[in-house]
Structure 1
Amino acid sequence: MKAMTYRGPYKVRVEDKPDPTIHHPNDAIVRVELAAICGSDLHLYHGMLPDTRVGHTFGHEFIGRVEQVGSSVQNLKVGDRVMVPFNIFCGSCFFCARGLFSNCHNVNANATAVGGIYGYSHTAGGYDGGQAELVRVPFADVGPAVIPDGVNPEDALLLTDAFSTGYFGAQLADIVEGDTAVVFGAGPIGLAAARSAWLMGAGRVIVVDYLDYRLRKAEEFAFAETINFGQVNDIVREVKKRTGGLGADVVIEAVGAEADGHVLQHVTSAKLKLQGGSPVALNWAIDSVRKAGTISVVGAYGPLFSAVKFGDAMNKGVTMRMNQAPVKRQWPRLLEHIAAGHIAPSEMVTHRIPLEHIAEGYHIFSSKLDDIIKPVITVA
């Protein structure tokens, strides 16, 4: 098969790799039709996550058709068109039984926190991802779902991570009707969180970023007010000015490890190749939320060596909630919203790039060229 492979920092290419095979009776092999590049893939691309091995195939957002199933698979059949959550999970452990699919205890021997993730280095289990013609899907009876008739394939693709994660971020924020929600980050997850905040009952949504084209997208797609933090003297004071001096009722932090490098990484993190991320956005969230408000964190972080203002958060009585999104848990409600015409996740897609040109896609996305928001990789 043809597959994207990692060759070192800022170096990816499409190569021939052996077709994946059934390793366990509950595996399936999926022929990929569409995949995507996620902002968190850029941490891998930049060589800033540990144990990202040469030859690894990235990609945790993909849909396709079932080409082969193991002998124990009962819920899928060859030919089914499926969307596959980025979480790999067993469905039966302590955490899966409670819907915490991203914290599955049985799929990642290399970590005690996150479960398995497709295409996300050996720190997330070492599973090859979906930026390829074929991918092995473990636990095929509990992860993938058949795409309902009439659902736009790109809408389904965006539910495998980006939109589901943004929606989860709005859920974690415990928005009360009429709340003012501030979203830090206008990438796909921030845009999805801002759009979803309205579905939760927000009375006002403000999106903060530094790229004008992403802020324009936040106005068009998420119907949000916007602030370019590069054009104000103090973003915290600006947020408080716009919220009657109190601060936002809820803040959703969708920046994470700041993959674009706009804020310099902590030197220790860079030297150790651990893109844990600068705490700038997280500290802005702590300072911008009102007393007794809620902060939801869905931005992706690694090990974080820099100081976070936990003392300020404690003294303000702030509630902080965070996790990797258990995306399949969000699908029933999101599919209802899509069917009702309330959302169309595919409206975030700006670029469609053939698999053979994926290296150029990574360059465009990493460098924020051509007003890129969300790149989709066409495979089939």
Structure 2
Amino acid sequence: MAVYRNSQNTHRPTKTSLTLVIKVGTSSICDEKTHYPLLGNLSRIVETIIRLKQLGHRVVLVTSAAVGTGLRRLNLDRKPSKLATVQAIAAVGQGRLMSMYDDLFGQFNQPVAQILLTRNDLADRSQYLNAVNCLEELLDMGVVPIVNENDTISVTEIKFGDNDTLSAITAGMVKADYLFLMTDVDCLFSDNPRSNPDARPITVCHDVEALRREVKVTSPGSALGTGGMVTKLVAADLATSAGVTTIIARGSTPENIPRIISDEQNPPLHTRFVAQPKPLVDRMWWILYGLQTQGTIVVDANLAQQIADSSSSQKCPVSLFAHSITGVEGNFVEHQAVQVVVEQNANGAKDIVTIAKGTVNYSSSEIIRMMHAREEDMMESLGYDSGDCIIDQDNIAISV
């Protein structure tokens, strides 16, 4: 495969003090059947973080298992399907989970802080920046932030969906050097190693999208968790675009993390997703990954080409005007985020290609009226005239 190679000789950050985000899943914290906490694993995770801090690094822990811990606390056998019940169980489990972490870190006099997030908390730019500033202040104070999705109030529309995605967004927020996705295998394989003995370990990846097309990663997460290897590839794509080197490693041996980030020649087996050399600037990354997509705008081929050209030449993005729009999908309002797509014909079949994402100046219904109105009729069509710029160049992030 051209997208990876079995070699560990890749560029690593040379800073003596690194910012690390470590994500541990439910399977690393709770037994899948009994829901009892895996105290041995938790202790090794805590001891590893203490060791990393002693080496001068800053560490953020992204943790799952609020629901799993709540099931054990309430003596329930399985995760229910009713949303309100799951939220109530998470409310019970989150307090118990933080209590365990506080007890373990307290053995080393290490203060911790609880950070609970939903997509809604990051959708508003000022709230996003407040969250960033809070995380930075905690790290500067020597505190270990412990981040989890706020499952008590999360619904489908505002959920990250899994903590792999949450950890990638957190890594982008704190401008981390490394994101560690701890799982139940040593690394990513070309196929499921449990069913295919010929599955090959993938140690280095430079192109996540190409890798996703070439390997089989259809296995789901555990009965308690929400992820799997698919979500880890999504997280790696998000994090590397923000300039964060992403690692998949075994969660039961977190003590390998210091060896992986060191310059030794034979580190433990893991998968390394190399950070993009030209990461997205903060605002563009926030638009692409921090905002929930609420609808779709279809543009003509001419504008699509201009957007692609501005990306390849590193020019400022172009603004999007009403006369370049050929279709609108979904119901959205002013200032919400939409994806910008173009229709292409390939071998007689119509293909939809996403080229950008941005925040709109008008609602979907207003844009539709503007599409069908001549420029001189704009005032009559809308009842006011604020121009026909649908997305300003400062509010559009190119994804091609």
TM-score range, shorter chain: under 0.3
- Return the TM-score normalized by structure 1: 0.28
- TM, length-normalised to structure 2: 0.26
Greater Rg over alpha carbons, structure: 2
Larger RCO, structures 1/2 (Cα 8 Å, 6+ apart) = 1
